[in-house]
Amino acid sequence: MQADDRRSQLMEAALRAFSRGGYHDTHVSHIIDEAGVARGTFYLYFKSKREVFQALIDEMFASLEGVVRALDPGALQPPIEQIRRNLERFVGVLRARPALTRLLLEQGVPLEPDVRSRLRGFYSDLTRRMEANLEAGARLGLIRDVDRELVACALVGAVKEVFHEREPETLDPARVADALVDLALHGLLAPA
């Protein structure tokens, strides 16, 4: 087996083990049993369960990289549709990896400060990207003056909560994107 394939096999085995037992109660022995490899094979690729967990976070980062794109006023799509497409792509990535999504939402607060910091950095980056899009929308006159930092945080939190309360693979990315854009643009009050 090629080195990249073996590494991927170990990551998938770790994901299954973490999903079953949670981060804290999973040990390297669970991962190697799940992968059907010797302990030494695991340590050729990862130093610890924390390192394999971080590799899983990195995989999700890589999948989401570039998904939330800056608004382009010169694009053929209107800015509101660009926002909706950003959300749809974001939700699509989370939906495509349901076990990893659940792990990061439910088990994503391990005790190790470096892992917790990395996860927080991930959400901070998404929030900054959302904030930049809100700022661009304001410059285009599409979005009223709001506390963009908190609104961006709330929008990212809304996506997280939707996934936390439902099975990711059952969610329709277009439906989630439409609902979040509708909430963000129109709020809950009926038109006067």
DSSP sequence for the chain: --HHHHHHHHHHHHHHHHHHHHHHH--HHHHHHHHT--HHHHHHH-SSHHHHHHHHHHHHHHHHTTTSPPP-TTSSS-HHHHHHHHHHHHHHHHHHSHHHHHHHHHS---S-HHHHHHHHHHHHHHHHHHHHHHHHHHHTTSS-S--HHHHHHHHHHHHHHHHHHS-GGG--HHHHHHHHHHHHHH-SSPP-
Residue 18 belongs to what domain range? 3-46
Span of 14-23, 107-116, 125-134, 178-187 with lowest mean pLDDT: 107-116
pLDDT in tens, 36-91: 999 999 999 999 998 998 899 888 888 887 787 888 888 898 888 888 898 899 88
Asked whether residue 177 falls in the same domain as residue 92, the answer is: yes
Judgement on whether residues 16 and 102 belong to the same structural domain of the protein: no
Query: Over the stretch 110-157, which tens digit does the pLDDT of each residue have?
Result: 557 777 787 788 788 888 888 888 888 888 888 888 899 998 898 888
Compute the mean pLDDT over every residue in the chain, rounded to the nearest whole number: 86
CATH number at residue 136: 1.10.357.10
When pLDDT is cut at 50, 70 and 90, the band that residue 167 belongs to is confident
Same domain, 77 and 162: yes
Domain count for the chain, please give it: 2
In a domain, 191, yes or no: no
Please check whether residues 148 and 174 belong to one and the same domain. Answer: yes
120 and 33 in a common domain: no
pTM score, whole prediction? 0.78
